[in-house]
Structure 1
Amino acid sequence: AADLAARTERLKFLVAIRPGTATPAYYARLASTLDRVSNGRLLLNIVVGGSAQELAGDGIFLPHDERYDHAAEFFKVFNELIETGHSTLDGKYIKAVDAKLGLPPVQQPRPPIYFGGSSDAAIDFAGGIVDKYLTWGEPPAQVAEKIAHARRAAAARGREATFGIRLHFIVRETDDEAWEAADRLISRLSDEAIASAQDVLTKNSDSVGQARMVALHNGRRDKLEVSPNLWAGIGLVRSGAGTALVGSPKTVAARLREYQALGIDTVIASGYPHVEEAYRVSELLFPELGLPGPRNQLRASFGDRQVFGGGGHGGNVRLTSAS
Structure 2
Amino acid sequence: MSAIEFIGITATQPVSETGAASGAAAAVSTQSETGSPTGAVIQPAYLKALATAHEEAGFDRVLVAHSSASPDGFTVADQVLTHTERLGVLLAHRPGFVAPTLAARKFATLDAFHPGRVALHVITGGDDADQARDGDLSDKPTRYRRTDEFLQIVRRTWESAEPFSHEGEFYTVKGALSGVRPAAAIPVYFGGASADAVRVGGRHADVYAFWGEPLAGIAERIAQVRAAAAPWGRDPRFSVSLRPIPAATEAEAWRRAEEILRLTKERSGELRRHFNLDHSAQHGSQRLLEYADQAEVHDKRLWTAIAKATGAAGNSTALVGSYEQVAESLLDYTALGVSTLLIRGFDPLADARDYGELVRLVRAGAAEAAEAAEAAEPVGAGRP
TM-score normalised per structure 2: 0.70
Q: Hey, what does 2:109 align to over in structure 1? A: 33
Contact 1:45–1:113 (8 Å) recurs in 2: yes
SS at match of 1:242: coil
Unaligned runs of 5+ in 1: 292-299, 308-323
Q: Hey, what does 2:361 align to over in structure 1? A: 288
Q: Distance in 2 between matches of 1:55 and 1:118?
A: 18
Q: Hey, what does 2:297 align to over in structure 1? A: 225
Distance 1:22 1:231, change over 3 A: same
% same residue: 31
Q: Hey, what does 2:176 align to over in structure 1? A: 99
Contact 1:290–1:305 (8 Å) recurs in 2: no
Once the two structures are TM-superposed, the CA of residue 174 in structure 1 deviates from its matched residue by: 1.1
Deviations 1:229-255 (A, max 9, x none): 111233222611111111112211221
Distance 1:19 1:239, change over 3 A: same
Please tell me whether residue 278 in structure 1 is matched to residue 352 in structure 2.
yes
* Match for residue 249 of structure 1 among 302, 312, 323: 323
Once the two structures are TM-superposed, the CA of residue 277 in structure 1 deviates from its matched residue by: 1.7
RMSD: 2.8
Once the two structures are TM-superposed, the CA of residue 58 in structure 1 deviates from its matched residue by: 2.1
Contact 1:213–1:241 (8 Å) recurs in 2: no
Q: Hey, what does 2:127 align to over in structure 1? A: 51
> Following superposition of structure 1 onto structure 2, how do residues 164-179 of structure 1 map, counting pairs within 5 Å?
164-179=239-254
Once the two structures are TM-superposed, the CA of residue 28 in structure 1 deviates from its matched residue by: 0.7
Q: Distance in 1 between matches of 2:128 and 2:306?
A: 23
Once the two structures are TM-superposed, the CA of residue 177 in structure 1 deviates from its matched residue by: 1.0
Distance 1:201 1:152, change over 3 A: farther
Unaligned runs of 5+ in 2: 1-76, 373-384
Once the two structures are TM-superposed, the CA of residue 61 in structure 1 deviates from its matched residue by: 2.3
1:136 partner letter:
W
Q: Hey, what does 1:131 align to over in structure 2? A: 206
Q: Hey, what does 1:310 align to over in structure 2? A: none
Once the two structures are TM-superposed, the CA of residue 78 in structure 1 deviates from its matched residue by: 0.7
Contact 2:124–2:143 (8 Å) recurs in 1: yes
Q: How many residues align?
A: 292
1:217 partner letter:
A
Q: Distance in 2 between matches of 1:115 and 1:246?
A: 27
Deviations 1:10-36 (A, max 9, x none): 101100110001110111111001101
Once the two structures are TM-superposed, the CA of residue 195 in structure 1 deviates from its matched residue by: 12
Once the two structures are TM-superposed, the CA of residue 260 in structure 1 deviates from its matched residue by: 1.2
Q: Hey, what does 1:15 align to over in structure 2? A: 91
2:222 partner letter:
I
Q: Distance in 2 between matches of 1:194 and 1:226?
A: 26
* Match for residue 224 of structure 2 among 146, 149, 162: 149
SS at match of 2:119: strand
Please tell me whether residue 116 in structure 1 is matched to residue 228 in structure 2.
no
* Match for residue 216 of structure 1 among 261, 266, 291: 291
Contact 1:49–1:55 (8 Å) recurs in 2: yes
Q: Hey, what does 1:297 align to over in structure 2? A: none
Deviations 1:29-69 (A, max 9, x none): 11001101112210110000101111122222222222111
Distance 1:301 1:122, change over 3 A: closer
Q: Distance in 2 between matches of 1:202 and 1:209?
A: 15
Contact 1:53–1:204 (8 Å) recurs in 2: no
* Match for residue 269 of structure 1 among 343, 351, 368: 343
Distance 1:16 1:286, change over 3 A: closer
1:3 partner letter:
Q
Distance 1:4 1:229, change over 3 A: same
SS at match of 1:187: helix
Q: Distance in 1 between matches of 2:264 and 2:243?
A: 18
2:296 partner letter:
L
1:230 partner letter:
L
Once the two structures are TM-superposed, the CA of residue 144 in structure 1 deviates from its matched residue by: 0.6
Structure scoring higher RCO (CA < 8 A, sep ≥ 6) equals 2
Once the two structures are TM-superposed, the CA of residue 288 in structure 1 deviates from its matched residue by: 2.1
Once the two structures are TM-superposed, the CA of residue 171 in structure 1 deviates from its matched residue by: 1.0
Contact 1:290–1:306 (8 Å) recurs in 2: no
Q: Distance in 2 between matches of 1:158 and 1:304?
A: 29
Please tell me whether residue 82 in structure 1 is matched to residue 154 in structure 2.
no
TM-score normalised per structure 1: 0.82
Once the two structures are TM-superposed, the CA of residue 79 in structure 1 deviates from its matched residue by: 0.7
Bigger share in helix: 2
Deviations 1:159-201 (A, max 9, x none): 112111111111111111111111111223447957996xx99
Q: Hey, what does 2:140 align to over in structure 1? A: 64
Q: Hey, what does 2:376 align to over in structure 1? A: none
Contact 2:330–2:362 (8 Å) recurs in 1: no
Q: Distance in 1 between matches of 2:264 and 2:219?
A: 32
Distance 1:168 1:306, change over 3 A: farther
